[in-house]
Amino acid sequence: MDKSNGLRVILFPLSIQGCINPMIQLAKILHSRGFSITVIHTRFNAPKASNHPLFTFLQIQDGLSETETRTQDVTLLLTLLNRSCESPFRHCLTKLLQSADSDTGEKKEKISCLIDDSGWIFTQPIAQSLNLPRLVLTTYNVSFFRNHFVLPQLRRDEMYLHIQDSEQDDLVQDFPPLRKKDLRRILDQETEVLDSYSAMILETTKASSGLIFVSCEELDQDSLSQTREDFQIPIFTIGPSHSYFPGSSSSLFTVDDTCMPWLDKQEDKSVIYVSFGSIATIGETEFMEIAWGLRNSNQPFLWVVRLSSVEQDTEWIEKIPKKFIEMLHEKGKIVNWSPQQQVLKHRAIGGFLTHNGWNSTVESVCEGVPMICLPFQWDQLSNARFVSDVWMVGVHLEGLIERDEIEGAIRRLLSETEGEAIRERMKLLKEKVGRSLKPKGSSHRSLQHLVDFISSF
């Protein structure tokens, strides 16, 4: 840490893994620049305070029942959390500000601002009423963040209902680089609850003091200038924040490190890493199709299968014939949770079969690992199109979870012709993004602006 600057920042991550990681990474960055850090968090999915002894952690009640904490429905979860956390959060923040005001000791600190996730829709009025500047961190890329506010209108127009078969692959003009078939998937899944939620995110973000993206100009240039125009607030693209402090310390799951010595035994760029993040679930049939696709490709693979990620009873894995599992283990390794950032860095990794959560996508780009895209929902569909259609650093499964498709995609990715071109483009993209993090690079400058901005309050 630089010498303390006498300022404290309060962070409030949304309680899911994909949102906790970037917020904790931001906390580490700000701490290294002299800020003291307080993290307010829910009891549900609480980050491990012991991993960050230099931060202060304050837990608030989230009102979730045991059953609710097990829901796979993220919309429901966010609705419940937003409903029940408002009052405990207000109480906690008010107390923090009061004690900072009444502190007269030598170590008196000023609370500079609140940084919380765009998905918390009650925090802006609270911060405003307490005269505390609020900055918003979003875990979407710039393009999806800006464009997803148009979804309620597209739903009202019912345009997605009239997509002809011949138009499936056409670009959605109001939402590039989504294709019309992607739009149908996004709108099919979402309910009106999400439309009003998005409207609240838009309103509370516009009223905030600034917006932070874990992205960079090199990845999101086109949408960035439009977003600046739309929002009229300072916007910071601090780049892939995990690169500043490699190694995730904010895992909510128990990390199985045994995959690292296993990777050491594999040949360079031979292993397909498979992970669908912290939320996505698949059915038993899909599990078997992926398993066969991996096995038939004859490539070694490392597969993250979270305990709750297959939609069946928890003992389902016990029911898979032992012979089949043994056959999988001839070529592969299955773990419940991996040290993903370390895995992607490993010389043995040749490709990443991913759901394209934004964190996973950016982590893969930073390590120059080409991707096989299997997006499940929401922003993942847009991120996947960036990978396959815009940056052209991966192949897209087009939603087909079938053994032949998976085997074929692995072969294409590792092939000498198509695969070589993909690997070359990925190498260039990795270098471009890497440069943005270096002094004078776009992310480096944007981060400095953020630090100056927060210090000016």
Instruction: Tell me: does residue 357 bind ligand UDX (CB under 6 A).
Output: yes
Helices (H), 108-191: 123-129, 142-147, 151-157, 180-189
Instruction: Tell me: does residue 304 bind ligand UDX (CB under 6 A).
Output: yes
**Looking at beta carbons only, is 355 or 423 nearer to ligand UDX?**
355
Sequence-ordered strand ranges (E) for 16-167 = 36-42, 56-60, 110-117, 134-138
Q: What is the distance between the alpha carbons of residues 405 and 276, in angstroms, rounded to a whole number?
A: 17
Sequence-ordered strand ranges (E) for 171-300 = 210-213, 235-237, 271-275
Q: Pick from 220, 379, 405, 407 the residue near ligand UDX by CB under 6 A.
A: 379
Q: Hey, which residues between 257 and 276 contact ligand UDX (CB under 6 A)? A: 275
Task: Determine the longest span between alpha carbons in the chain, in angstroms.
Answer: 71
Instruction: Tell me: does residue 358 bind ligand UDX (CB under 6 A).
Output: yes
Instruction: Tell me: does residue 441 bind ligand UDX (CB under 6 A).
Output: no
Instruction: Tell me: does residue 337 bind ligand UDX (CB under 6 A).
Output: yes
CB of 339 to ligand UDX, least distance (A): 6
CB of 302 to ligand UDX, least distance (A): 9
Helices (H), 346-402: 358-366, 379-385
Instruction: Tell me: does residue 138 bind ligand UDX (CB under 6 A).
Output: no
**Looking at beta carbons only, is 36 or 364 nearer to ligand UDX?**
364
Q: 3-class SS at 335?
A: strand
456 Cβ neighbours under 8 A, 6+ residues apart: none
Do 13 and 41 touch, CB atoms closer than 8 A? yes
Instruction: Tell me: does residue 380 bind ligand UDX (CB under 6 A).
Output: yes
Q: What is the distance between the alpha carbons of residues 282 and 290, in angstroms, rounded to a whole number?
A: 10
Q: How many residues bind ligand UDX, per CB under 6 A?
A: 27
Residue 28 sits at the vertex; the CA angle it makes with 26 and 29, to the nearest 5 degrees, is 65
Q: Kindly state the DSSP code that residue 387 receives in the 8-state scheme.
A: I
**Looking at beta carbons only, is 93 or 142 nearer to ligand UDX?**
142
Site string for ligand UDX, 201-240 (x = CB under 6 A): ----------------------------------------
**Looking at beta carbons only, is 204 or 248 nearer to ligand UDX?**
248
Positions touching ligand UDX (CB under 6 A) are 16-19, 21, 139-140, 248, 251, 275, 277-280, 304, 337-338, 340-341, 357-360, 363, 378-380
